[in-house]
Structure 1
C-alpha cells in the first residue's frame, strides 16, 4: 500500500483529541481542589452563569480555589518544561538526518500515555499531584511543539514556492483551530452527560488511531540516504550539533540579523498571546461570570474560530500586502482583544470580545514561512527545532508567569494580567517597524540570502503562480 503525503489528518486528529482533554484537565483540577479545600461537593451552576453573591464566605472560597488552581497549573508547566524542550530541540533537528516521522510518532505516544494516566487518576480518584507526574512522563516523548515542529518541517520539504508554503502552513494552523473548536464545543456536553472518564477514554482512542495512521500510512517526506544512515552515532550527533550551530555561524550578517529578529518577534508575540489566553478558563470560572462547562466549551470553541478566519486573512491579504503588514495586523488584533478582555463583566461581552482577536493567528504561519525561506532545505529541521524549542520555552514561562500574576492580583483586579499581556504585544509591534526599516521583509530579498546553489536550484523548480 502506497503511503500518503498528507500530514493534515495527523494535526486535525491530534488537535481534536488534545482539546477534548485540555479544558477538562483545568476543570477536573478545579473541582478536586474545591472538594479538598472546602470539604464540600462542587456547586452545580446552571446556564444563566450567575454567581452566588449572598455569601461572603462563598466568595472567599472561590478566590482560594482560584489561587490553588493557578499555582497547580504553574507547577505542571514548569516541571515538564525542560524535558519537553530538550526532546523538541533534539528530535526536530535530528529529523534532518533521520526523517520527519519520528517527530510525529513519539509525541503521539506521549499524548496517549498522558490521557491514560489522567483516565486512571479520574477513575480511581488517585492523588491529584500524580497528574503532574503524568505531564512530566509524557514530556519525555516531546509534546505539541515537537509534533508541530516536525509537521512544519514536513511541509517545508514538500514545497519550494514561498507563497504555497506559507498557505500550507496556514492550513495546518487552520486544521489545528477548526478541530480543536469542534472538540471544545463537544467537551462541555460530553462532560455534562458522562462525567470525566469517557472524554479521557475517547481522547486516548483518537490518539491511538492517529498513531496507527502516522506509523503505517503517512509517507516519509525526507528520503534518507542509506550511506548517510550507516554513519556512526558519534558523527550523527556531531552533525546534529553543527546543524543547529550553522544556522547562524555560516550565515551572512544580514541573514543572521533577519533570522534573529524574526525569532524574537515570534517568541515575544507567542509569550503575550498564549500567556494571556492561558488564564481565560480560570477567569470565566471566577466571579462575576462563573461559567459552567457548557459555556466554557462554547467560549473556547468561539476562540478557535480565529484559526479559520486567520487562514482566510492570510490567503486574502497575501495577494495585496507583504508579510510585515500582515503580521502587524495580527498582533494588533490580539492587543485589542486582550485589553478589552480585562474589563469584561458579562457573559455576552465575554463572547463578543473574541471578535477583535479573529486575526490573531496570522503572524505565526507568515513568520514561519519567512524563516523557512531564509535557511537552506537541509536546515529546515534545525530551524524549526530552534523555533519550536524557543516557542515552547516562552509559552511555558508565559503560562507560569501569568498564572502566578493572576494569583497575586486576583483580589484587587483579576483583569490585570490581560492588560499586561496586551502591553507585551507592543514589543513585536515595535520590532516589526525595525524589520520594515531594515528593508528585509521583501520575499525576493529574503530568498537572496540563501546560498547561490540552493537559490538557483529553487528557481529551476519553481513555476510562476497565476
Structure 2
C-alpha cells in the first residue's frame, strides 16, 4: 500500500487522538484529586499534609474511600452512557454519521468545565465531581466516542477495515502515551485548575475538527413524521427508537449466518477481556500508589512509557504481521498470551525497576482489542457494521459496570493479605478468551470460502488487495 494512500485513511483518528490526549491527561490527575479530597475530609482540611503522597500512601481508610468513590463515579458515568450509545449507534446506521460523533464530545467538554471549578475550590465535597460523570454519561461517554469513531471509520473505509481499526487503536495509544507522560508533571507545575483548562482546550480543538471535517452520509428517510412536535412526542419517539435498536441488535446476534456460534463466542471472549481490562485499570493507580508510593507524576511516566510501547507495536508491527504472516485472530491470541505474563508480573511487583520491566512485556497488549474488533467485524455484513460496533460498545459498558463493581469493592479487602490477588486471578481468567479466539480463528481460516456465503470471501479479497498493494510500498 502506498504511503500516501495509507495516510489518506486518516480522518477521525485525529479528534480521537485529541480526546485521548485530554482523557489521559485527566485520568491520573483526577485520581490524585480524589485522594486529596478524601484526605482533606479525614485530616481536617490539612492541605500541606494531603499534598504529600508519601505521608499517607498506605492509609487503608483513604484507599478504601477512594476506591468506593471511583466505583460510584463509574456507575454515574456508565449507566446513562449505555442507553445513549445504543441510540447513537442506531442513528449512525439510519439517520446521521456526523451528529453521533459530535454529541459525546459536547458532554465531555461540559464535564471538564465542572472539573475546573471543583479543583479550583479544592475544599468542596468530592461528590460534586459526579456532576461531570453525569453530563458526559448522558451524552454517551467514552463508550460512545470509541463506538462512533469505529463506525465512521469502517463505513467510510470498508476496504481497509483491519488497518482502519489499527489506526484507531494507534490514535488511542498515542493520546495515552503523551497524556499519561505529561499529566502529573503538568499538574505539579501548574496546579489542578490550570491542568483541567488545558484539557478543556484540547477537547474544544477535537470538537471544532469534527464540526468542519466530519462528512455526512446519505440516508433514506426512515424517521418519524416531521410534523410531530412537543416533549411528549420526543419522549415517545425516543422510547420507540430504543426498543427498535434493542430488537435490531438481537437480530444481529440471532440472525442465521455462517459462524454465528463463533460470533457469539468471540463477543463473550471479548467481554471477558474487557471486564478484566476495565477492572484492573480502575485499581492500577491505587495499587501502584500502595505498593510503590507513586503519585500521579510517577504513575503518569510509567503509564506513558507503557502506552508508548504498545502504540508503537500496534501502529508498526500489527499491520506488518497482518499483511505478511498472521490473521487478526492470531494477533489477538499473541496479545492475550503476553498480557497474561504481564499480569502475573504485576501480581508479585516489588520495586520500580520491576515495574518498568513490565513495559516491555505489555508491548502486544493492544493487539487484543484490535484483533478482536477486526475479527468480529469480518463475520458481519457491511450494512451491519454500525450495529455490531454498538453491540461491542454496549458489551463494553456492561462489562465495565460489572468490573468496577467487583474490582473497586474487592481490591481494598485484599490489602490485608495479598494486594496482587486480583492481578493473579485476572491472568488465569484470560485463558478463556485465548482459547476461544485461537480456536475460532483456526476454524474460520480452514473453512472453504463458499460456506461463508460471500461474507468472509469478500473480506479476504479486500485483505489480499491491501496486501498486494502494500508490497509496493
TM-score by length of 2: 0.86
Q: Measure the CA separation in 1 of the matches of 2:167 and 2:50.
A: 39
Structure-1 residue corresponding to 2:219? 224
1:140 aligns with 2:138: yes
Q: Which runs of 5+ in 1 are unaligned?
A: 53-57
In the alignment, is residue 196 of structure 1 matched against residue 192 of structure 2? yes
Moved over 6 A (4+): 234-238, 454-462
Deviations 1:105-150 (A, max 9, x none): 0110010011011111112233210112321222000011111111
Contact kept, 8 Å, 2:333 with 2:438, in 1: the verdict is: no
Change (3 A) 1:463 1:409: closer
* SS of 2:158 mapped into structure 1: coil
Q: What SS does the corresponding residue of 2:294 show, helix, strand or coil?
A: coil
Which residue number in structure 2 is paired with residue 280 of structure 1? Answer: 284
In structure 2, do the counterparts of structure 1 residues 395 and 103 end up closer, same or farther at CA, with 3 Å as the change threshold? same
Q: Distance in 2 between matches of 1:136 and 1:249?
A: 33
- Which structure is higher in helix share? 2
Q: Distance in 1 between matches of 2:285 and 2:405?
A: 15
Change (3 A) 1:219 1:292: same
Displacement of 1:243: 3.1
Q: Distance in 1 between matches of 2:380 and 2:22?
A: 33
**8 Å contact 2:329–2:375 — kept in the other structure?**
no
Mean Cα displacement is larger for which, 239-248 or 351-360?
239-248
Shift of 1:251: 2.4
1:269 aligns with 2:276: no
* Higher mean C-alpha deviation, range 231-240 or range 263-272: 231-240
The normalised TM-score by structure 1 is 0.87
Which ranges of structure 2 fall in alignment gaps of 5 or more residues?
Answer: 1-8, 227-236, 469-473
Q: Aligned pair 1:109/2:115, yes or no?
A: no
| Cα distance in 2 between the residues matched to 1:66 and 1:461 | 49
Aligned residues: 446
State the distance in 2 between where 1:447 and 1:147 align.
35
Structure 1 residues 407, 280: CA separation in 2 closer, same or farther (over 3 Å shift)? same
Q: Distance in 2 between matches of 1:336 and 1:461?
A: 31
* Match of residue 307 from structure 2: 304
* 1:152-231 mapped onto 2 (5 Å cutoff): 152-161=150-159, 164-220=160-216, 222-225=217-220, 227-228=221-222
Aligned-partner Cα distance in 2 for 1:236–1:140: 17
Choose the corresponding residue for 2:82, options 85, 108, 132.
Answer: 85
- The question of whether the paired residues in 1 share the 8 Å contact of 2:36 and 2:50 is answered with no
Alpha-carbon separation, structure 1, partners of 2:381 and 2:69 = 42
The yes-or-no answer on 1:413 pairing with 2:418 is: yes
User: What residue is the counterpart of 1:245 in the other structure?
Assistant: 250
1:65-112 deviation digits (Å, cap 9, x = unpaired): 111111111111123322111111121122101122222101100100
> Is the 8 Å Cα contact of residues 266 and 428 (structure 1) preserved in structure 2?
yes
The aligned residue for residue 55 of structure 1 is none
Change (3 A) 1:285 1:447: farther
Check conservation: 2:76, 2:137, Cα contact below 8 A. no
The offset of 1:212, in angstroms, is 1.4
TM-superposed CA distance for 1:295, in Å, is 1.1
1:293 is matched with 296
What is residue 41 of structure 1 aligned with on the other side? 47
Distance 2:146 2:333 in 1: 23
Compute the RMSD of aligned alpha carbons: 2.9
Segment of structure 1 superposing worse, 307-316 or 68-77: 307-316
Distance change (3 Å), C-alpha of 1:447 and 1:107: farther
Task: Map 1:434-445 onto structure 2 (within 5 A).
Answer: 434-436=439-441, 439-441=443-445, 445=449
